[in-house]
Structure 1
Amino acid sequence: MKEGKLSEDAVRPCMKAYSRKLYLNGKEFHEITLENRAGMKVTALDLGCIITGIHVPDRHGIYKNVVMGYENPDDYLDNPAYFGALIGRTAGRIKDGAFTLNGVKYSIELNYGTNSGQGGREGFDKKTYSFAVNTSESMAAVVFRRTSPHMEEGYPGNLYSAVSYSLSEENVFKISYKAVSDCDTLVNLTNHSYFNLSGDFSKSIESHNLMIASDFYAELDDSSAPTGRLIETKGTPFDFNSMKEIGRDIGFCDSQLLIGKGYDHPFVLREGSGIKARLWDRETGRLMEIHTDNKALVLYSQNYAQGQVIVGNIVLSERMSAALEVQRLPIGRDGTFLEDSVLKQGETFRSYTEYRFGIL
């Protein structure tokens, strides 16, 4: 009897989604891995939905992790810079830690100087989530779920949220957000991963080329909260409508750059379909393109470091990475941009961001 030959599809590795137990300071968590047939991998924790790894190839086919993470996983329990974390209920700063909704004033703890930031002192980045993994012929995914109770961190309403991470065969990593509340509340979810497409976090991010499809950015006050004024990007250091190095204008004598020691600003994304942002490392050829239905993107050029020891036993210094936080506009002075974050009772918040990886 002649031996049969397996088809090409039969011998190809399958899409994978699996988890393992991970103990952080003796407490049990889980690390979830998504892997496609090409070898791209995404790893995340059920603590804060923290993305600990996105491994993608360079032009020579060498895979490296392009998101910043800690050398000692125990450090994710504190994580003051929010490496890879889900941010909620609201991303960015809320001016003076207060907002008024339906005539009621709510106060949130001031954990960012005179403002509240990134969801409060114990925001979504500090919570543990239930999760479920699944695969299909073309996708590997994990869905994280949690209900935030009424008045957690000062926010009204019991808020059910589900966050999906999925990986395709085409090296597209997608984050999908869903939330429902039993009364009017605020929701503005984002992910706070720090990227360096070289895969070497001892190298400056300033040589990376960046494009952001934006005609306006939000002016910040001295506390880094929005003033409510939108400034045209054209002709300023904030013009990234054509690819340019992040460091080209970062040292320009501009009052807005001086506030944050660099870029830490919301950009209003141009409406319509198409690429909203593009990040490229010339040396390795790695390219990341962002597609989203969201309104804004906060560019943070990692202007500060707190002595973190990151993967590779590297002591982090300034501007070794960039966070591209896709979200709604943060809430500023006199409740400016508040309406962008309002979720009405019974309505469903939905949003997605795709990170498409390739070589250029």
Structure 2
Amino acid sequence: MLKLVSRNSISIVFLVILIGISSCKNNKANKSTLVTQTNIQPVSITKNSYGTTTNSENVDKFILSNKGGVEVEIITYGGRITSLKTVDNKGNLENVVLGFEDLEQYEKPNPYFGALVGRYGNRIANGKFILNNTEYTLAKNNGENSLHGGLKGFDKVVWKVEDVKDGDKGVLKLSYVSKDMEEGFPGSLTTFVTYTLNADNSLDVLYEATTDKTTIVNLTQHTYFNLSGNFSESIVDHEVEIYADKFVPVDDDLIPLGNLASVDGTPFDFRTSKLVSRDINSKNEQIVIGGGYDHCWVLNNPEVGYRSVAKVYHSKSGRAMEVLTNEPGVQFYTGNFLDGTLPSPNGGTFDKRSGFCLETQHYPDTPNQPNFPTVTLVPGETYSSKTTFKFSTK
């Protein structure tokens, strides 16, 4: 039986159709817009200009934010995380990473705040290594050693934006091509780094690289965290847990001695969560050498691949961070060389131990240490490394 429809009902239906057509037109018009922020999308991305380098290169800033209270700012200069906001146990949204207010500060000498580090994260002794019977000489920028890629590492270049997508995840894919013999490293290295902010308050960092000549690669992320959100406070009141039975002892220049030492009965035992303050000022020789913690931990279960390797908790704010990676090591650094000379965006300066780093990576000086897991990359293979920083509150 057909249902009769009144003239008024037809008018209403026609009006609804017109509204739908208008809405479709508007959606088509907005298709070219970088960001589509709606209530059904948990992660969104916005783009702003961040300035121009001294070499007249344009730098952009991307803000990735989700509905769970995490907002990450990333600039194309050095692929740096300049701000990472997350809520505390009272719902306050605060930045928990050290950084600067403007591009000018990032171009000046600084301790790699928020930066992508490469080609080789950490130190290479005497700025030299031998690969396939050929000796390569690198720039020495840390005494007699090479540190974090040399004079102009990946932290000081403008990365190209390959892809930007929002929706159930916020994805920012960056790329950089390091030419053959740049900073002394062999091979033209094409590198992609993909930042992904997820709805569960985790930030993935995926590193991928290929080369046209046998080379070495060890990429990492050098963000300094202070989960209190107050950079005038030291991070020694943070509780840290690192799943590692061994660490890498170093000499006076922070170059590995070549052996892997047990953490058992030492200040380096973080297998059970403990306050950083507990042992950071101990008379242990390795602590004295580093001025605190500045060592690489040999992470357990490397055969598993991607796994949880560390946790940090700040009781006052209730903020917690878990680190997951497929790397064999993590450099835990407690900001020992911050000296109060760098300005904080909140006013004041960044003093000693106002931030900590958990840099997932291979071990320092691996090219000169035959017993360490290899960092060699050959043509036809793809370097792949993934690290996740997952935030929560207790």
TM-score bin, normalised by smaller chain: over 0.9
Query: Would the aligned equivalents of 1:71 and 1:312 in 2 still touch at CA under 8 Å?
Result: no
1:23 Cα offset (Å): 1.3
Q: Which residue of 2 aligns with 1:318?
A: 352
Aligned positions of 1:129-168 closer than 5 A: 129-168=159-198
- State whether structure 2 residue 60 is matched by structure 1 residue 30: yes
- Residue 74 of structure 1, aligned match among 104, 107, 124: 104
Q: Which residue of 1 aligns with 2:323?
A: 290
Q: How many residues align?
A: 356
Q: Matches of 1:221 and 1:190 in 2, distance apart? A: 22
Q: Matches of 2:368 and 2:186 in 1, distance apart? A: 19
- What is the CA deviation profile of residues 164-222 of structure 1, one whole-angstrom value per residue up to 9, with x for unaligned ones? 00001110100000000001000000000000001111001000000000000001011
Q: Which residue of 2 aligns with 1:215?
A: 245
Change (3 A) 1:115 1:229: same
- What is the CA deviation profile of residues 233-270 of structure 1, one whole-angstrom value per residue up to 9, with x for unaligned ones? 11100000011011110111111111111000000111
- State whether structure 2 residue 361 is matched by structure 1 residue 331: no
Query: Would the aligned equivalents of 2:41 and 2:168 in 1 still touch at CA under 8 Å?
Result: no
Structure 2 counterpart of 1:166, one-letter code:
T
Query: Would the aligned equivalents of 1:194 and 1:321 in 2 still touch at CA under 8 Å?
Result: yes
> Relative CO higher for 1 or 2, CA cutoff 8 Å, sep ≥ 6?
1
Q: Which residue of 2 aligns with 1:173?
A: 203
Name the SS of the counterpart of 2:229 in structure 1: coil
Of stretches 273-282 and 254-263 in structure 1, the one that deviates more from structure 2 is: 273-282
Which of these two proteins has the greater Rg computed from alpha carbons? 2
Q: Which residue of 1 aligns with 2:122?
A: 92
- Residue 344 of structure 1, aligned match among 378, 386, 389: 378
Change (3 A) 1:21 1:147: same
1:331 Cα offset (Å): 0.9
Query: Would the aligned equivalents of 2:71 and 2:85 in 1 still touch at CA under 8 Å?
Result: yes
- Residue 197 of structure 1, aligned match among 227, 239, 251: 227
- Residue 247 of structure 1, aligned match among 254, 258, 277: 277
Name the SS of the counterpart of 1:70 in structure 2: coil
TM-score (norm 1): 0.94
Of stretches 17-26 and 158-167 in structure 1, the one that deviates more from structure 2 is: 17-26
- Residue 275 of structure 1, aligned match among 299, 308, 316: 308
- State whether structure 2 residue 49 is matched by structure 1 residue 21: yes
Name structure 1 gaps, 5 residues minimum: 5-9
Q: Matches of 2:350 and 2:223 in 1, distance apart? A: 15
Q: Which residue of 2 aligns with 1:49?
A: 79
- What is the CA deviation profile of residues 24-79 of structure 1, one whole-angstrom value per residue up to 9, with x for unaligned ones? 56743111111112231111110000100111111111111111011444111124
Query: Would the aligned equivalents of 2:130 and 2:367 in 1 still touch at CA under 8 Å?
Result: no
Change (3 A) 1:56 1:251: same
Of stretches 315-324 and 185-194 in structure 1, the one that deviates more from structure 2 is: 315-324
Query: Would the aligned equivalents of 1:100 and 1:335 in 2 still touch at CA under 8 Å?
Result: no
TM-score (norm 2): 0.86
Q: Matches of 1:145 and 1:195 in 2, distance apart? A: 25
Q: Matches of 2:68 and 2:289 in 1, distance apart? A: 43
Q: Which residue of 1 aligns with 2:142?
A: 112
Query: Would the aligned equivalents of 1:33 and 1:44 in 2 still touch at CA under 8 Å?
Result: yes
Name the SS of the counterpart of 1:275 in structure 2: strand
Query: Would the aligned equivalents of 1:183 and 1:346 in 2 still touch at CA under 8 Å?
Result: no
Structure 1 counterpart of 2:374, one-letter code:
D
Q: Matches of 2:42 and 2:393 in 1, distance apart? A: 23
Change (3 A) 1:153 1:11: closer
Structure 1 counterpart of 2:146, one-letter code:
S
Q: Percent identical across equivalent pairs?
A: 33
Change (3 A) 1:143 1:257: same
